[in-house]
Structure 1
Amino acid sequence: MNRPLLRREWQIFLLALGFLTRLPVPPDPDFSAAKLNAASRYFPAVGLVVGGLGWLTYAAAVALFDQAMVAVLLSLALTALLTGAFHEDGFADSCDGLGGGQQREDVLRIMRDSRLGSFGVVGLLLLIMLKVHALSAIATTAGTTVVGAAIMWGHVVSRWLTVSFLVDQTYIGGDGKSKPMASAMSVKHLGLAGVAVLPLFLLGLPGGWWLLLPLLLGWRLLWAGYLRRRMGGYSGDTLGAAQQVAEVLIYLGFLL
């Protein structure tokens, strides 16, 4: 067993956990820019942590209140608290920038604005409503265990899809809280990131997996093509939008 390698990878995972969540992580005594750039391959693994805690919150709330929608809302609140609504913020900023900006410079300027505009408000409201109603519908038709599986699939696979943009797309955003930890990733590391998906098969596949797979691939290709035409590449905010839409699509896939 190569202990120095395992120690380094654990430190890289903690960097990813600290970047994507508000969970406390110990400082890295051997911090380096190379380790920071490598952390994006553990984003799906962070999804296992966030999704797992969201599932536990949902299950506990169902046992306590016996109300699926209340449990879903508490689960979503917990995951938003854990992540600081990081991806939701990127989704809202993307709605504002792409909805209100014409030229690339205008789009990026609006995205960097900390104020939330009408496009962002409406988009975020619809996004949350879709999550709540989709997960509540899963609870009604399939039960608590399947809701947990949906939450896990949603958080992990959506983050894997998101980091795939680092493989073949161009980063054009600026500095700030929405800047990704890395702007490039190899196909090899994308494959390593996908290892976090494997435990999900123990939970069972989404009912409409045969339709969900091309749907997610289609969303990824359409979003990448649209961003190339509008902006010339992706920003950190548009990665947040990619993750959030993919998460909703996965929840809807469980209803098929």
Structure 2
Amino acid sequence: MDDATKQHRPSPLAEFVAAVIFLTRLPIRWRGPWPPDLDRRALAWFPIVGALIGAVGGLLYWGLTLAGLTAPLAALVTVAGLSLLTGALHEDGLADVADGFGGGRDPAAKLSIMKDSRVGTYGALALILAALARIGALATLADPRLVALALIGAHGFSRALLPAMKLWLPDARAQGLSASQGRPDRARAVIAVVIGFSFAGTTLGKLGLQSGMIGLDIMALSALTVIGLGWLARRQIGGVTGDVLGAAQQLAEIAFLLGIVAARSP
């Protein structure tokens, strides 16, 4: 590697900040030129930023319960607050994928629908069901400590799977959010999965789900939703887009939370 390449390589802090800028709507301003490969390198930080987003959700839920809100209301406000924090980035992807895959006759039509900013019937239904699933899972867990652990694990693990999905699938569009980010190298995709696995394993252990294969089953369920969506995306539109990545995060998060609820049920 030549000296010029080393000189322009983004620092780990820059990669982390770039991931925060991409995944949240925090008012962070980037100073100076944006390195050309920063988006691609920032992908490895997705699970860490995801876990921090989950921690914010846990603190919000805890504060709401201290204020006297019931578990269902605290769960509702927490899900809404997390959507505001992330700018509903992944929810938008889920709605677009539902509209495109459900309403398009061919790959070109599906991609055109997904690019449309308007939300159709399939997208609205997907958003409602996704919100209800997350609110219901958090309300069922109820205890602030359990909710915080579940959110940290779910948000961290679900975002850890996205670099691997980008590495696995080709871009469905030559231009777009996913294509502009570039493809992560294998090492960074593996690092993201390992970090996400560590977050998930730690939180599931603290939830009392470390015995037997229960914790691995929950992570496998979450990962299988991403694999299933990836297989469908390849068949429907020929690869991955930013919307597909957003939908994958939502489905993986929901599967993770529902897996915890099911495992803790008597």
TM-score, reference length from structure 1 = 0.89
1:90 is matched by which residue type in structure 2?
Answer: G
Residue 253 of structure 2 is matched in structure 1 by 247
What root-mean-square deviation, in Å, do the aligned CA atoms of Structure 1 and Structure 2 show? 2.1
1:51 is matched by which residue type in structure 2?
Answer: G
TM superposition shift of 1:7: 7.3
Residue 13 of structure 1 is matched in structure 2 by 16
8 A contact 1:96–1:116 mirrored in 2: yes
**SS of the residue 1:171 aligns to:** coil
Deviation readout 1:169-226 (Å, 9 max, x if unpaired): 10113645x5465231222101222354335544343634242233223223222211
Residue 215 of structure 1 is matched in structure 2 by 221
Q: Distance in 2 between matches of 1:149 and 1:62?
A: 16
Q: Distance in 1 between matches of 2:76 and 2:41?
A: 33
Q: Distance in 1 between matches of 2:48 and 2:69?
A: 30
8 A contact 2:172–2:241 mirrored in 1: yes
TM superposition shift of 1:47: 0.5
2:60 is the alignment partner of 1:65: no
Q: Distance in 2 between matches of 1:113 and 1:62?
A: 39
TM superposition shift of 1:44: 1.2
Residue 203 of structure 1 is matched in structure 2 by 203
TM superposition shift of 1:6: 11
Q: Distance in 2 between matches of 1:250 and 1:6?
A: 35
8 A contact 1:40–1:181 mirrored in 2: no
TM-score, reference length from structure 2 = 0.86
Residue identity (%): 31
2:192 is matched by which residue type in structure 1?
Answer: A
8 A contact 1:39–1:181 mirrored in 2: no
8 A contact 1:48–1:196 mirrored in 2: no
Q: 1:227 aligns with which of 233, 247, 252?
A: 233
TM superposition shift of 1:28: 3.6
Residue 189 of structure 1 is matched in structure 2 by 188
8 A contact 1:171–1:183 mirrored in 2: no
Which structure 2 residues correspond to residues 12-51 of structure 1 after superposition, within 5 A?
A: 12-29=15-32, 31-51=34-54
Q: Distance in 1 between matches of 2:174 and 2:90?
A: 17
Would you say how many aligned residue pairs link Structure 1 and Structure 2? 249
2:86 is matched by which residue type in structure 1?
Answer: T
Q: Distance in 2 between matches of 1:194 and 1:204?
A: 16
2:90 is the alignment partner of 1:91: no
Q: Aligned pair in 2 of structure 1 residues 181, 51: CA closer, same or farther (>3 Å)?
A: farther
Q: 1:136 aligns with which of 125, 139, 142?
A: 139
Q: Aligned pair in 2 of structure 1 residues 67, 116: CA closer, same or farther (>3 Å)?
A: same
**SS of the residue 2:245 aligns to:** helix
Question: Which is worse superposed, 79-88 or 182-191?
Answer: 182-191
Residue 159 of structure 1 is matched in structure 2 by 159
Residue 173 of structure 2 is matched in structure 1 by 173
Q: Distance in 1 between matches of 2:202 and 2:249?
A: 23
Q: Distance in 1 between matches of 2:125 and 2:181?
A: 30
Q: Distance in 2 between matches of 1:56 and 1:226?
A: 36
8 A contact 2:47–2:157 mirrored in 1: yes
